[in-house]
Amino acid sequence: MTPLALFLCASASLLVPVASQDIFSNRESFSQCLALARKIHSDVYALLSKYKEEHIGSKSFEDYSLVMTSLPTINLHYSTWLSMEDSERLLINLKDLHVFWIHVDAKRIYELESMPQSSLAQNMEDVLLDMRDLLFQMKHQLEFLETPAPETLSQSVPDALLNPQNEWLSKLQGYIILRDLERYLGKVVRDFTLLRTKYQK
């Protein structure tokens, strides 16, 4: 699915930079990325459930009081969200998803160290590949919107993530990361839905 998604995104975004076709191209790109975001959202949801079952001991575990300050905030006022420019919307998503990508990747590495044959690590890698494709696509969409994408995104990994105080905290970190990513991807899906709708007109 990942190569297919990549192909779809790339084919929709990299083809014909002719002005008359920009709108059509962007619309298609938003549609494909909406589909990809939905897929990632679905995968992360399943991954979160599996993670909770394997590491926390219960699929139904929830604790919204736990937060990681290094993760992007999800709360956004509706009117603010509604009034955002397209490029701004894409840019925020790009930055935030990149932060999530770093966190998930750090967690994947930690998981592999603990268990070389971990299926969770493999699932995380699949999600990361899809997220990379989505980020790649969003960068191109920003270019179409004539908004320069940041040259380099932050690569710093929080120290607490690399060296958790104890194993339980590490497990909770993974839970928080996936939980917040799943919620954030909900927002991303809504953003792409809005963008696709907007460009369909």
Partner 1 sequence: MLPKLHLQTLLTTVMLLAPQVDVSEEDSPKAPTDLKCATHDMLTFICSWSAGPETNLKTSYKICYKPTHCESVERNVSGKINLPLIEAAQIHITAVNTLGSATATFQVTKKDITFIPPVPQNVKVVPDFSSQTLSLKWTGGISALVIPTTIEFEIQVLWTEKMEVIHTESYAAQLDSQNKTFQWSWISSMPLKCTSHSVRIRSISTDILMSSKNSSSDWSKLQTIPGADDSESVMFPKDKVVSVGTNMTFCCVAGRGHRIKTINYGDEQLPCNEVGNRNKAITKYNLPPSVSSGTNVICKLDPVGVAGTVVFVGYPPDDQQLECETRDLQNIDCHWSPGRQTMLLGKHKTFYTLRERFTFSCPKANDDADPNGDKYKCSFPVINGHQMYEFLLKAKNPLGEVETSYTLNLYTRVYPYRPSKVVVCYIGSRETELSLSWGVSYKNMTNLCQFEIITNNKEKELRNFTLPGQEANALSNVTVKQLYPDTSYSVRTRCASAEHFWKWSSWSNSKTWKTKEEAPSKALDVWREIKRTEHGQNVFVKWKPLPHSDAKGTIVKYEITWKAMNEVGEQSAFAPVSTNSTELHLNFSDYIISVRAINLAGSSPTSQIRILGLLEEQVDEPSIISGTPSGFNLSWSPGTNETCGYIVDWCLFPDTPDCNLQWQKVPPKTTHTVITSDSFRPGVRYSISVYGCSQHKEYLLEKMAGYTQELAPRRAVKVKAEANSSHTVTLWWGDIPVQDRRGFIKGYRVYYVPQVNYSARSQKSVGIKEVIDITDPDVRNVKVTNLHSATYEFTVRAYTAGGEGIGEPININLVDSSLGLILAILIPLATTCFCGILLGICYAKRNCVKETFYPDIPKPEIHGEQWSVGEGRSCNPTFDVKPFMPDKVCVIESVPGKDAEDSDICKVEMDKCDSEQIDDSCSDTSSKPMLPSYHPQIVDSYKASSDSSSGSIDSCATQVTYSDIQPPSSGSVNNLEVISDSGYKPQMRTHVPLLDVNHTPNPQHLDLPEQSEGYLPQVKVNNWSLYSPEVDEATACIGSPTSVNSTQFLLPDQASEEGPSSRSSSWKFSSLMSSEQKR
Residues forming the site for partner 1 (CB under 8 A): 54-57, 61, 63, 65, 113-116, 118, 165-168, 171-172
127/172 with CB nearer partner 1? 172
Closest CA to 25 of 49, 40, 2, 8: 8
61/136 with CB nearer partner 1? 61
Q: How far is the CB of 73 from partner 1 (least distance, A)?
A: 21
Q: How far is the CB of 142 from partner 1 (least distance, A)?
A: 39
Q: How far is the CB of 52 from partner 1 (least distance, A)?
A: 11
42/122 with CB nearer partner 1? 122
156/166 with CB nearer partner 1? 166
56/129 with CB nearer partner 1? 56
Q: How far is the CB of 157 from partner 1 (least distance, A)?
A: 18
Q: How far is the CB of 103 from partner 1 (least distance, A)?
A: 19
